[in-house]
């Protein structure tokens, strides 16, 4: 169905079809997954056949499947992209998540298009334009604040999607080119080398060292769990969990956690609706801090506040256990209130301030015996648990069941019996059979047996609610008759639900074509092919530069634009200094330098926009790399 902003959609990541099925079972209203190519996570690709398997499972619950189709295409890839879009449509996919506007100029199937986070929607004007050209859902920039979200909601009709959990890219999405400049691996083409997670030394304009070997471009992880109601009230209707590279424990845990929070909002406010069918029942208590995170931040939702950097490590340190009180030859003791388990993963920051981990073989009270005793562990060191063995064991099992409530009534007919079923969405099934009618000798026992057998819905997606008997007399009905009716009714209801599923309707572009907010585009607009060029010309743009990946921008330019600011992190922000006695006027936004090995990377600051620009230019070895060649491994679909 086509969702409205009243339907609150929980959108979960899927590395593969099995992860997606787990996400659906744990309460996701939709999942997003990479296809066979052209996704912004090149190592998370999936065959069309596997995606079709995921679609079949999702549609049982009227949940949706979106495919991340969000790289920019080279001219040599346009035909393969078109063919792939049709194959995904034929597989039943509900929407494509898109960055490259060239796709809108092509012969693509009648499928919903969602504007990817890489389209860099930071302004009301950009959101309005994408709404008017036919996108039915747009992913707002992670950096957007609540006030701007409200303005976007007031100015648009499409659904608004916002990241609520998981890793944060330091750069504005789609505005990071440092990976391509240094290695030829483009983030906009799904091959980011994650230079943001490397350690750097920071030097000010006077050559003074402000930080040494810190992960200065590494962000904490996003956590908007406290802001879900505010986001919904502001107009957000799709709540997105990051993580197509994350493991299945993370997907289950995060999905279950946010499912519970969104259900509370829906139950408290009748204005909102669920976006799919059924309810998930969990065999564990969701705890997002137990699976991968780099500590958490609300980012810029309420403006710039706490610092957002995770400078110590880009790895998962986990929950603090306590301090080491004793170190033995093959063990250490720790003062803690936590219950530790054999098999737990424990880590600490060593003398080089690097995160070092170990597996705990045996726990004896406060004494821990690791698989290998670290040489540099000392008393008073803090230790952390980044793998809770007992918790993860729960998630290794079938940790959730998702069920659709059905009401069942057994009827009497002239020559036998009939069974009607109606699910929570109003879909119905009716089956009947001929059977001999024999009075029951033990009335209560016979009726209880009939109800019990009807309610045995087992591994189906249904759960029995009210089970009624509409009989003129108390009949003895053999179990075989009741079971046959139940099986046939379930099969019919499943088929009826499938027939009743409505694929979401594509958006309709405005006529005459909407005008793009600017008439000139730089390399920052990621125009990499002739179709994208045609799109922007059609929408009033007069001057269009090629994407950075075309290697035409040879001088030093911003290769990363970010709202994260190292001057702010080190208390050197000119804006923050205003009004501070003895400081005002003494701090200016002078450049800084990041140092990594022999690389010296200049940082410039645009205080008016509150942005940091990481400067660089494409390296000679990257210029020598060949441009993408035509993709030939896709089976062609008729034009």
CATH number at residue 355: 2.40.10.170
Are 309 and 283 in contact by the 8 Å Cβ rule? The answer is no
Residue 348 shares a structural domain with residue 482: no
Q: Of 396, 428, 453, which residue constitutes the final position of a domain?
A: 396
Q: 355: domain range?
A: 315-396
Residue 582: the pLDDT is 46
| Residue that terminates a domain, selected from 290, 323, 344 | 290
* Residue 155 exposure: Cα atoms within 13 Å on the Cβ side: 16
Would residue 524 count as lying in a domain? no
Number of domains in the chain: 3
**Domain identity same for 279 and 149:** yes
Q: State phi, psi for 272 to the nearest 5 degrees.
A: -95, 155
Token couple for 286? 């969701």
104 is a domain residue: yes
pLDDT at 478: 96
Q: What DSSP string describes 363-396?
A: EETTEEEESS--TT--TT-EEEEEE-HHHHHHHH
DSSP 3-state assignment of 200? strand
pTM of the entire predicted model: 0.95
Decide: 321 and 346 in contact? Cβ < 8 Å. yes
Whether residue 188 sits in one domain with residue 240? yes
pLDDT at position 632: 60
13 lies in the same domain as 123? yes
**Surface-to-core class of residue 181, CB atoms within 10 Å of its CB (0-12 exposed, 13-18 middle, 19+ buried):** buried
146-155 helix and 124-132 helix, angle to the nearest 10 degrees: 30
Q: Does residue 593 sit in helix, strand or coil? A: strand
Residue 418 sits in the same domain as residue 474: yes
Residue 325 neighbours by CB distance under 10 Å: 14
Phi-psi region of 348 (alpha: psi -120 to 50; beta: other; left: phi over 0): beta
Tell me which long-range contacts 75-78 makes (C-beta under 8 A, separation of at least 24): 75/529, 75/530, 76/627, 76/628, 76/629, 76/630, 76/631, 77/38, 77/529, 77/628, 77/630, 77/631, 78/102, 78/106, 78/529, 78/530, 78/531
347 and 438 together in one domain: no
Query: In this predicted structure, what is the pLDDT of residue 575?
Result: 85
Angle at which helix 78-90 crosses helix 48-60, to 10 degrees, equals 40
The number of C-alpha atoms within 13 Å of 34 and in the hemisphere containing its C-beta is 19
Question: Which phi and psi angles does 401 have, rounded to 5°?
Answer: -130, 135
Domain membership of residue 284 (yes or no) is yes
Do 427 and 462 reside in the same domain of the chain? Answer: yes
Kindly give, in sequence order, each residue whose CB lies less than 8 Å from that of residue 112, ignoring residues fewer than 6 positions away: 94, 95, 96, 136, 137, 504, 505, 506, 507
CA distance 422 to 493: 8
The answer to whether residues 450 and 487 belong to one domain is yes
β pairing state of 159-166 and 137-139 = parallel
Strands 209-214 and 273-274: unpaired
Type and span of the H or E element at 150: helix 146-155
Residue 151 lies in a domain: yes
Question: Is 605 contained in some domain?
Answer: no
Q: What is the pLDDT of residue 629?
A: 80
Q: Is residue 341 part of a domain?
A: yes
Q: DSSP strand E in 318-470: where?
A: 319-327, 332-335, 345-349, 355-364, 367-370, 382-387, 400-413, 416-423, 428-434, 438-439, 462-470
Q: Is there a single domain that holds both residue 60 and residue 105?
A: yes
Closest by CA position to 416, among listed 486, 471, 487: 471
Cα separation, 57 vs 109, whole angstroms: 22
Boundary-marking domain end, from 476, 500, 524? 500
Question: Do 375 and 233 share a structural domain?
Answer: no
If asked whether residues 279 and 320 sit together in one domain, one would say: no
CATH number of the domain bearing residue 230? 3.20.20.70
Shortest CA distance to 591 belongs to which of 203, 197, 177? 203
Collect the ranges in the chain with pLDDT lower than 70.
1-2, 577-586, 631-639
Residue 528 lies in a domain: no
Whether residue 246 lies inside any domain: the answer is yes
CA-CA distance, 166 to 244, in Å (whole number)? 10
Q: Are residues 168 and 242 in the same domain?
A: yes
Nearest Cα neighbor of 181 from 628, 620, 561, 627 is: 620
Q: How far apart are CA 551 and CA 548, in angstroms?
A: 6
Identify the three-state secondary structure at position 547.
coil
The DSSP H or E segment spanning 498 is helix 479-500
Q: Are 526 and 99 in contact (CB under 8 A)?
A: yes
């Amino acid at each position: 169905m086509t969702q409205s902003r009243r339907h609150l959609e929980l959108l979960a990541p899927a590395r593969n079809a099995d992860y997606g099925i787990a996400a659906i079972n744990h309460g996701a209203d939709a999942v997003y997954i990479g296809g066979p190519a052209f996704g912004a996570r090149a190592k998370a690709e999936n065959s069309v056949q596997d995606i079709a398997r995921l679609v079949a499972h999702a549609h049982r619950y009227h949940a949706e499947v979106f495919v991340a189709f969000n790289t920019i295409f080279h001219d040599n890839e346009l035909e393969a992209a078109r063919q792939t879009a049709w194959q995904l449509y034929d597989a039943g996919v509900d929407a494509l998540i898109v960055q490259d506007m060239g796709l809108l100029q092509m012969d693509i199937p009648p499928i919903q298009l969602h504007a990817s986070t890489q389209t860099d929607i930071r302004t009301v004007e950009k959101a309005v334009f994408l709404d008017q050209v036919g996108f039915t859902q747009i992913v707002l920039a992670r950096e957007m604040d609540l006030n701007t979200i409200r303005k976007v909601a007031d100015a648009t009709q499409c659904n608004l999607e916002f990241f609520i959990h998981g890793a944060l890219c330091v750069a504005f999405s789609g505005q990071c080119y440092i990976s391509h400049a240094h290695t030829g691996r483009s983030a906009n083409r799904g091959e980011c080398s994650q230079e943001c997670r490397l350690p750097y030394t920071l030097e000010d304009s006077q050559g003074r060292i402000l930080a040494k070997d810190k992960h200065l471009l590494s962000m904490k992880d996003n956590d908007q769990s406290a802001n879900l109601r505010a986001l919904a009230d502001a107009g957000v209707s799709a709540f997105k969990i990051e993580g197509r590279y994350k493991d299945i424990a993370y997907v289950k845990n995060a999905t279950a956690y946010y499912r519970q929070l969104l259900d509370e909002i829906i139950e408290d406010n009748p204005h909102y609706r669920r976006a799919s069918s059924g309810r998930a029942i969990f065999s564990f208590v969701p705890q997002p801090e137990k699976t991968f995170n780099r500590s958490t931040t609300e980012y810029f939702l309420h403006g710039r506040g706490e610092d957002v950097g995770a400078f110590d490590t880009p790895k998962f340190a986990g929950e603090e256990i306590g301090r080491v009180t004793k170190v033995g030859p093959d063990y250490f003791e720790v003062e803690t209130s936590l219950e530790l388990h054999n098999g737990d993963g424990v880590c600490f920051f060593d003398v080089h301030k690097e995160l070092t981990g170990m597996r705990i073989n045996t726990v004896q009270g406060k004494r821990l015996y690791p698989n290998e005793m670290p040489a540099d562990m000392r008393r008073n060191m803090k230790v952390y648990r980044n793998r809770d063995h007992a918790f993860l064991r729960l998630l290794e099992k079938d940790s959730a069941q998702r069920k659709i409530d059905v009401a069942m009534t057994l009827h009497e007919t002239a020559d036998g019996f009939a069974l009607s079923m109606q699910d929570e969405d109003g879909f119905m099934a009716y089956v009947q059979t001929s059977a001999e009618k024999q009075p029951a000798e033990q009335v209560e026992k016979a009726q209880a047996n009939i109800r019990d057998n009807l309610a045995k819905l087992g591994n189906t997606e249904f759960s029995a609610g009210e089970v009624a008997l509409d009989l003129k007399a108390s009949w003895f009905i053999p179990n075989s008759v009741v079971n046959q009716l139940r099986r046939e009714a379930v099969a019919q209801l499943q088929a009826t639900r499938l027939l009743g599923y409505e694929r979401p309707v594509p958006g309709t572009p405005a006529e005459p074509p909407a005008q793009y907010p600017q008439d000139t585009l730089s390399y920052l607009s990621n125009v990499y092919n002739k179709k994208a060029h045609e799109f922007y010309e059609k929408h009033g743009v007069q001057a269009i530069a090629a994407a950075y990946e075309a290697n035409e921008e040879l001088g030093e330019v911003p290769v990363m634009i970010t709202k994260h600011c190292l001057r702010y992190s080190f208390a050197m922000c000119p804006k923050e200094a205003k009004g501070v006695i003895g400081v005002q006027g003494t701090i200016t936004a002078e450049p800084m330098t990041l140092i990594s090995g022999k690389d010296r990377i200049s940082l410039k600051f645009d205080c008016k926009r509150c942005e940091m620009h990481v400067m660089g230019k494409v390296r000679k070895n990257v210029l020598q790399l060949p441009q993408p060649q035509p993709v030939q491994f896709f089976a062609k679909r008729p034009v």
